[in-house]
Amino acid sequence: MQVIITGLHLEVTDALRAHIDAKFEKLARHFDNVTDVHVILSVEKLVQKAEATLQLSGAKLFAEDHQEDMYAAIDAMVEKLERQITKHKEKTGSHR
């Protein structure tokens, strides 16, 4: 799994990078067909925004979240992606 982190109007620190890597490692345990992740972190005045595009085998998932704290925005975004992954996993499973 390749994680690409981009910062708009923000410097991506090592702590942010480590936090994102830890969160996406947990997602990789749920569904092992994750091939590519692109995370964009941005700041607009007082709003911290985190968005991610997840490339799975057969699907592309997107989630974003706005918070006052960047770490809270990342956590909420990962929770949204986790729900989408479980829904996709159930959908692709056997219906028998």
Give the tens place of pLDDT for each residue, 56-92: 887 899 999 999 999 999 999 999 999 998 888 888 7
2-90 fold: Double Stranded RNA Binding Domain (3.30.160)
C-beta separation of 53 from 24 below 8 A: no
- Residue 59 C-alpha from the chain's centroid: 14
Paired tokens of 13:
């620190």
pLDDT-derived band at 13, boundaries 50, 70, 90: very high
Residues 6+ apart with CB under 8 A from 91: none
Global pTM value: 0.89
- Residue 9 C-alpha from the chain's centroid: 19
